Structure 1
Amino acid sequence: MIVTTAAKPTEQTMAKAKSLAEELSGQFQLRRGRTLSQLMTAGSDDQLIVVLDNEVRYYTGSTSEQPLYYHPSMAFVRVKRLLRGEHDPLIELSGCMPGDRVIDCTAGLAADSLVFSVAVGPEGSVTSLESEPVLHAVVREGLSSYKSGLPEVDEAMRRIKLERSNHTEYLASLPDDSVDIVYFDPMFEEAIEESSAIGPLRSLANHGRLSDSAVQEAVRVARKCVMLKEQRGSTEFERLGFTRCKTKKTSKITYGVIAVDRAT
């Protein structure tokens, strides 16, 4: 993997690029007037990260393809609705309240983590887990620097604690009844065509099937419930013991819940 910067980087951006190269076992390359394609060709490498002043972009295969970078996408619309006092299905169905502690076991671009973070507020906490190193790095940098134009949303992003970890191992390390909600949103086996915003994510994301052991650990540590997001026709709810929730018939996704109800 090659890590580089814009043509004229600041000292801070240069330092961040060098740090990312070390973290991801990549090679840092100065631009020296070269295009991104020229860097990839010269380095015989089809993976490239570009560190900009306020963004990190990941390219694979070709720089003509859309890069992966952090953006809240539809989560921004959802959190604006929450801030207006409107409802969100995930928050309603999970029973999430201000002050709750949430673990999002499958971070991806941390969209649902952001919704949870707004819902739990400053007095709550959201820990978001991502096992894939590049995706973890891109999202971590985005959460720390992205500016949405709404201070409440930016503060919610900064509060998310993103951990690079396997979710089963992480859950196994926690005490019983130590969080309120545990959430799973595995990568769907079939892409939803309308979700072009997460297209570049699919090449990096962990496509592993959610395991029974992960769900068992989640039930052990959750005080309120364990939630699963899946495509409407998925059989994963039945396989893993989740009760399907009622959602709009027009929605391509739905949720399942295992109610724990040990909250006091």
Structure 2
Amino acid sequence: MSGQVQPTCLWGNLASFAADMRKMINAPEFSDVKFIVGKERKVVYAHRCILAHRCEAFSTMFAQQPLSRDAKGADIPFVVSDVQPDVFLAVIEFLYTNSVMLSSKMALEVLTSAVEYGLDDLQKSIVKTQGFHELSDPAMLVILQSDMLTIDEPDLINFVREWAHVNSVVLDKSVPEIAKEVVRELRLFLLTPDELTALEVENKKDNLIPVDKIAEVWKFHALKKSSGIAVHLLRRRKGTRPRDHHKYLNLYHK
């Protein structure tokens, strides 16, 4: 209708809002959900409404386990044993404030949790952080050697590519030179033929992964045999999505 007045969006002080929200992180007062986190069994307090509306994974978690109490009337906490308390709190901080302070030591661990909880914005933010890009070759190698990463291999390859490109600019070296040692720990054998084809197309742009490494994977797919391949490169990580060809891996590789 002509002449209709359109509503105007007014913004308050976003920094002040984030600061107020940050005060609610792990605050027992008015919280309605409790987590027992990590081997340390650290207690973390939160608010169901915020977590559920900001993260589908938490929404599903709460739906599967509605608010319940023990015989003494105390709320039954959620146990999150496979993540460090500081990493879990970093995820909570992002959900409350849409921002998070990270050290280089925590960058990939938080990235792992961001993938696990389906937090795309946090994933994209982390790979752009100085902390992630400052990871040294040895640190990246240790990370990639872990079976506990809750990241599927194509996503991990993309993260490594981003890391290599940034360090290529900073150190004035080629991408293949930067990533020479690191790419050896990428578990390319976990990829399907279609994923491997897509990887080859992307690889032509920067030669991140040596051609002979990709050729080894094609050989594996052709022969359906894993003999002669380093055992750890055939193991699924915690976050590896199952694929049909994984049945050709030896049982102890699963």
Query: Shared fold (TM-score greater than 0.5)?
Result: no
When you count helix as a share of all residues, which structure comes out higher? 2
TM normalised by structure 1 equals 0.26
More strand by share: 1
The structure with the largest alpha-carbon Rg is 2
